[in-house]
Amino acid sequence: MARILAVDDSPSMRQLVKLALSSGGHEVDVATDGVEALQVAEKQQFDVVITDVNMPNMDGIALVRELRRRTNYRFTPLLMLTTEATAERKQQGKEAGATGWLVKPFDPDRLLSIVTKVLA
Amino acid sequence: MATAAADPRCRCGTLGLSAEAAALLLAFAMRESEAPAVELGSALERLDQGLRPAAGAPGRETLSRDLAACVRALQFHDRLMQQLAVIRNLLTRLADHPLPQMAGFGAQRWEELLAALRERLAAGAHDELFELLVRTGGVGAVRDAGADQAEGSSELF
């Protein structure tokens, strides 16, 4: 079981990610944007962070960049989960330090298998 | 003397009013649909929790598949909200006034808008608004060509 932080400004998306991951036995915390995610991530260590890209206050790419600056998140899997699928945005995510790029809509089983893979 | 409908300033004003009214209607509709979507998500969470003790029971696998289908389907609501937000932002740019905060929005501005529209809305204003939206590129900017193929894809770096 892993401790996962799911970041999305959409309440229903937060619910769906939480539902998918907790049904796989993971413990899931949520945050509504990059700023809140950083605050939560500083209080406790997560094994995986899954974040949306377009969010108010701080977007997902900036969040990944910020997390990678912290020693305790340097090697943590950071996954982007977004509707964006352009090569340019993916490259931005990669350069920021993201571990992977998942395009919505996600399949719950597929999401679980990817989490398992990045945790291995 | 030019008629009111032929006066470009009047058309722009009507478009601005129409845009503001449309943006407000969209914002209200989006806000209205948020709570039911969250309610549906909560119901799915409860169903999932209720199903856990039944692991291995007959029919459990079918119910799990149905639940997964619900999770996938509900994500299209989120996508719709994102697309509507792009349209709302485009309309706001065309509006005469910046959109008021939804929380503090009273009936007064709405009544003013309706009165102004009733008085000034030309028959072709809707077409003009649509053309303006298309010209801004907002319709094409919502989704990239080929995005359908990328749906549900994943890539580990």
Domains of chain A: 3-119 (3.40.50.2300)
Q: Report how far residue A92's alpha carbon sits from residue B96's, in angstroms, rounded to the nearest whole number.
A: 36
Looking up tokens 């919502």, which residue turns up? B142
pTM: 0.76
Strands B154-156, A27-31: parallel, antiparallel or unpaired by DSSP? unpaired
Q: Report how far residue B137's alpha carbon sits from residue A68's, in angstroms, rounded to the nearest whole number.
A: 36
Range in A19-23, A90-94, B125-129, B147-151 with the lowest mean pLDDT: B125-129
Does B24 reside within a domain?
yes
Looking up tokens 């609501």, which residue turns up? B77
Contacts of A105 in chain B (CB under 8 A): 72, 75-76, 79, 151-152
The single-letter DSSP state of residue B151 is T
Range in A72-86, A101-115, B3-17 with the lowest mean pLDDT: B3-17
Range in A57-61, A110-114, B137-141 with the lowest mean pLDDT: B137-141
Question: Residue A60's pLDDT is what?
Answer: 97
Does B88 reside within a domain?
yes
Task: Say which residue, A61 or B96, is predicted with more confidence.
Answer: A61
60-119 in A: which are within 8 Å (CB) of B?
A: 83, 85-86, 90, 93-94, 98-110, 114, 117-118
Q: DSSP for B50-70?
A: HHGGGTTSTTHHHHHHHHHHH
Instruction: Return the number of CB contacts < 8 Å for A and B.
Output: 96
Q: Do residues A28 and A4 lie in contact, with contact meaning Cβ atoms separated by under 8 Å?
A: yes
Task: Say which residue, A29 or A120, is predicted with more confidence.
Answer: A29
Does B9 reside within a domain?
no
Contacts of A110 in chain B (CB under 8 A): 152, 154
Is A67 a residue whose pLDDT tops 90?
yes
Is A49 a residue whose pLDDT tops 90?
yes
Does B154 reside within a domain?
no
Contacts of A20 in chain B (CB under 8 A): 71
Is the CB of A104 less than 8 angstroms away from the CB of B45?
no
Q: Do residues B121 and B20 lie in contact, with contact meaning Cβ atoms separated by under 8 Å?
A: no
Task: Say which residue, B26 or A18, is predicted with more confidence.
Answer: A18
Question: Residue B3's pLDDT is what?
Answer: 47
Structure tokens at B50: 């209720």
φ/ψ (deg, to 5) at A66: -65, -45
Contacts of B41 in chain A (CB under 8 A): 11-12, 15-16, 19
Question: Residue B76's pLDDT is what?
Answer: 93
Q: Report how far residue A100's alpha carbon sits from residue A117's, in angstroms, rounded to the nearest whole number.
A: 11
Contacts of A83 in chain B (CB under 8 A): 79, 82, 147
Is the CB of A102 less than 8 angstroms away from the CB of B34?
no
Does B116 reside within a domain?
yes
Tens-binned pLDDT, residue by residue, of chain B (157 aa): 444 445 555 556 677 777 888 888 888 888 889 999 999 999 999 998 888 887 778 888 888 899 999 999 999 999 899 899 889 888 888 876 665 554 445 556 666 666 666 666 555 556 555 555 555 444 444 444 455 567 788 888 8
Q: What is the mean pLDDT of chain A?
A: 95
Nearest to A12 among B37, B67, B68 (CB): B37
Q: Report how far residue B151's alpha carbon sits from residue A103's, in angstroms, rounded to the nearest whole number.
A: 6
Is the CB of A86 less than 8 angstroms away from the CB of B34?
no
Of A12, A48, A18, A108, residue with least CA distance to B40 = A12
Is the CB of B75 less than 8 angstroms away from the CB of A107?
no
Does B146 reside within a domain?
no
Does B82 reside within a domain?
yes
Q: Which domain holds residue B54?
A: 14-139
Question: Exposed (0-12), middle (13-18) or buried (19+): which is A20, by Cβ within 10 Å?
Answer: buried
Contacts of B147 in chain A (CB under 8 A): 83, 85
ipTM score: 0.84
Alpha helix stretches (DSSP H) within A1-120? 11-22, 34-43, 60-69, 87-96, 108-119
Domain count, chain B: 1
Nearest to B155 among A90, A104, A106 (CB): A90
Question: Residue B124's pLDDT is what?
Answer: 57
